Structure 1
Amino acid sequence: MFSKDQSAQLKQSFWTTFGQYIAPHQSAEGMRINWVNYKTGIKYLNFKMHVDKKSAYIAIEMSHPDPGMQELIFEEFAAFKNMLHTSLEEEWDWELHTTDENYKTVSRIVKTLSDVSIFKESDWPQLISFLKPRLIALDEFWCDAKDGFDTFK
């Protein structure tokens, strides 16, 4: 068991390490990018990475406070589903109106990796290998698809 400070330090160390591994990669548009805090340019639409003591996930998260708006954005992603899954080279799970870790209603398109822990440094290579290519693929998808979401800006 880790103290609160140790836990925070390990989490910070993981995200710093992840940032160092992904920093050399430019965005699909050839620009430098803050990968760990990826900006889609649309309020309430985020590419979210989460790692805890049991699992990790990467997601396209729609967190608009109006569930109807979440559903509209979700439906727009459904129109791009083939392009998204081609970019990702895998199928992800589609979750309309689920609850996040803060008990807020969100909608997600998500891929999960189970049985890993941010608190086990021996799991970090597996976590980085899981997150990095998927985030790069999301960026490539977003570069091609973002104009289709302009109505949500």
Structure 2
Amino acid sequence: MTNDERTFRKAESTDAQALLTLLKALGTETTTFSISGELPVADEEAKEIEKINAGNDHVIIIALAGDQLVGLATITPTVDTKAGEIGVAVLKKYWRQGIGLELMLSALDWAAIESSYNEISLTVQKNNLGAVALYQKIGFETITTSHVENSVGELVEAYEMAIALE
């Protein structure tokens, strides 16, 4: 697959059903991705995407391979109003093809240009070596280590990482 066939953009309300399908698939592929609570129906998701796009403290960036949704990055507010939290997930079939990197960079560009955040943070499981390497390559630095519960309920070591926006 060439980069010409890939598209990276903000999610739109018309992406709601495809986004829900992607989230369900991601939840079955790895223990590093989990969904809290029940997923909404497509109409509710569409309204949520519209609300997100109307503000400057949330974003959903999607990756498409052709017309298939294959990954996403989100930035959401934290308790600290000057810091956002980023999350990224890509279908396993598309790992190690640069999609995660492009999603991260697109979301960070949005944060630097559109948001009022000074810093973006994330939590990554220590055993997710590919993701840790990706985040370090981008410039994230480990702030502390902690333990988090993975999607199957196991307590695993994790890094709390952050990057300053310029």
On whether the aligned pair clears a TM of 0.5, the verdict is no
**So what's the TM-score if we normalise by structure 1?**
0.28
**So what's the TM-score if we normalise by structure 2?**
0.27
Q: Which has the higher contact order (CA 8 A, sep 6+)?
A: 1
Higher strand share: 2
